[in-house]
Amino acid sequence: MDKKRVAVIGAGASGLTAALFASEKCSVTVFERQKKAGRKILVTGNGRCNISNRFPDSSRYHGRDRGFAHAVLERFGLRETEAFFSSIGIPFVEEKDGKLFPASLQSSIIPKVFSYELTKRDVRINLHRRIDNIITGKEGFKVITAGDEKHEFDSVILACGSCAHPASGASRSGYHLAESLGHKVYEPFPVILPINIPYKPLHRLQGIKHDCHIKTLLNGETVSEAVDELLFTGYGISGPASLKVSRKTNELLLNNKSPQISINLFPGTDMETLLSILNRLWADKNKKIAFSLLGILKERVPEVILEIAGINPERTAGSLSDDEKLKIAHTLMDMRLGPGEPRGFEEAVAAAGGVATDEINPLTMESKIISSLYITGELLDIDGDSGGFNLQFAWSTGAIAGMSQ
């Protein structure tokens, strides 16, 4: 009896996983529009591949139906992921905040190991093959490449990924294919990326890093927050703290809302303690205010803080009123800034939006619209927080789709 013929469109994290699991029973062919498989994997985790996270619960995922992510992780979660990678020779090591990496700390080994395993299982990998059309019929699917090659399959797994980070080969092709097959696609927007802050005095802090508590506020209410390192840039803010609140910030901006960014440069310190520290710094009443703040702040930061607080940095400590001291303390603990237009997909680690999950069965990843069509990974309307959550979702959905063949 002939094996079931399965096409996997996309050789990223979910596509490679789907192909490997499907190859246990089926004849599998992978189509990848780039000249190399797994290009986006190579840039994850700063080249070390943040492969997953020790705490991949559904609260770390976003989309119109967070329950979808929960169902996926219940079906194939961290335990199954670790066992799978261990079986192909890639054990994990754990770092800060539960981040998991391959023990080699090299993302380049992931596509190489997958390539070896797929070759061993006689999976055909067609590189530099863009799929322009997928036609459904009674006998299955006809997959048509940009070069007008026609291939017939019994099942198709769409694993094209999102349009985030086009330098690694990302595109909108997956969305177009899904739409052509009748699926609803929510317009994607960039997430996990730096934030524009058009307040020019802030740009003078370019290159300075600071541990902080950052919040995204809407009408004074906190809608997203993080305690982590912040990097000031020539356009605004970046670093782990910025990446963690960028999703909600961009979502609000794209919906014509007016969020604010609040930066606390002294997380874990209460106002009374901070005022006590400041008063000690200002004990020398002849010392200039900006200069006195260098005891607790890096160079250039005092001048910007004082400008935001509306106080001349050339004034002396002795000239400060109690209200002005309180104003400076408040600025240090709640620096309010207005974010500008979201930065583009070029800098984004992931994309929110994508194929509507209510059209997909999370236990199989099969389309509820077209039988034997499966959709996986970042192509779906689910995106995870920074820290290995998006790759975990890719491995999970790819494995489920592959096992469902």
Residue 36: which residues within 8 A CB-CB, separation 6 or more?
Answer: 111, 127
pLDDT at 167 over 90: no
Mean pLDDT (whole number) for 343-354:
94
pLDDT band at residue 46 under the 50/70/90 scheme: confident
Q: What is the mean pLDDT of the chain?
A: 95
Query: Which percentage of the chain shows pLDDT scores above 90?
Result: 93
Residue 51 has pLDDT above 80, yes or no: yes
User: Would you place residue 43 in the very low, low, confident or very high pLDDT band (cuts 50, 70, 90)?
Assistant: confident
3-state DSSP call for residue 393? helix
Residue 137: what pLDDT? 87
Return the ∠ at Cα 285 (arms to 279 and 286), rounded to 5°. Answer: 140
pLDDT tens digits along 392-401: 999 999 999 9
Distance CA 5, CA 277 (A): 70
Q: Which residue has the tokens 């995106």?
A: 383
What does the alpha-carbon distance between residue 340 and residue 252 come to, in Å, rounded to a whole number?
11
Confidence class of residue 147 from pLDDT cuts 50, 70 and 90?
Answer: confident
pLDDT recorded at residue 334: 97
HEC letters along 6-24: EEEECCCHHHHHHHHHHCC
With 0-12 / 13-18 / 19 or more C-beta atoms within 10 angstroms meaning exposed / middle / buried, residue 102 is buried
Distance (Å, whole) CA 315 – CA 303:
11
Provide the pLDDT for residue 1.
63
Per-residue pLDDT averaged across 327-353, rounded? 96
For residue 364, pLDDT beyond 90 = yes
Instruction: Provide the edge-to-edge strand list for the sheet that holds 92-94.
Output: 52-53, 99-102, 92-94
Q: Say whether pLDDT at 179 is over 70.
A: yes
Cα–Cα dist 360/76, whole Å = 16
Helix (H) or strand (E) holding 119: helix 109-120
Q: Which two tokens stand for residue 391?
A: 């790759």
pLDDT value at residue 329: 97
**What's the whole-number mean pLDDT along residues 277-300?**
95
Fold of the 194-343 domain = Helicase, Ruva Protein; domain 3 (1.10.8)
**Whole-angstrom Cα distance, residue 273 to residue 153?**
68
Task: Give 11-24 pLDDT, tens digit per residue.
Answer: 999 999 999 999 99
Residue 387: band (very low, low, confident or very high) from pLDDT cuts 50, 70, 90: very high
Q: Determine the topology of domain 5-190+350-403 in CATH.
A: FAD/NAD(P)-binding domain (3.50.50)
Q: Percent helix, strand and coil across the chain, each rounded to 5? A: 40, 25, 35
Give the distance, in angstroms, between the CA of residue 250 and the centroid of all CA atoms in the same chain. Answer: 13
pLDDT tens for 197-209 read: 999 999 999 999 9
Beta bridge partners of 374: 157, 366
Helices 389-403 and 13-22: crossing angle in degrees, nearest 10, is 30
Residue 121 has pLDDT above 80, yes or no: yes
- pLDDT higher than 90, residue 300: yes
Residue spans per domain, the chain: 5-190+350-403, 194-343
